[in-house]
């Protein structure tokens, strides 16, 4: 079953974040709780964790991209 990895709400009023670095690559085995990527707001850098066990099947945003909060950035299957 595919699980969407979304950009979490970091702080009230933050609408967009920048992807700093992918810590896992497409095809990597991941477990729930593993850090997948780092995102940055104007106030902080935060790791986004996988919410499921599986394989990182798809990456939908690149490093240095600006993406909206709640946007799907990866699929774990």
Containing structural domain, residue 52: 3-76
Q: Could you tell me the CATH number of the domain that includes residue 23?
A: 2.40.50.100
Q: Could you give the angle at the alpha carbon of 28 between the alpha carbons of 72 and 37, nearest 5°?
A: 45
> What predicted TM-score, i.e. pTM, was given to this entire model?
0.92
Token look-up 């995102």 returns: 39
pLDDT of res. 43: 84
Interval 7-60: pLDDT, tens: 999 888 899 999 999 999 999 999 999 999 999 998 899 999 999 999 999 999
Q: What total of structural domains would you count in the chain?
A: 1
pLDDT of res. 61: 97
């Amino acid at each position: 079953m595919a699980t969407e990895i979304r950009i979490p709400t970091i702080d009230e009023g933050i609408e967009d974040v920048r992807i700093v670095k992918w810590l896992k690559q497409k095809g990597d085995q991941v477990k729930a709780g593993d850090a997948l990527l780092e995102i940055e707001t104007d106030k902080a850098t935060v790791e986004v964790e996988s919410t499921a066990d599986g394989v990182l099947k798809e990456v939908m945003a690149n490093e240095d991209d600006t993406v909206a909060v709640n946007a799907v950035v990866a699929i774990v299957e």
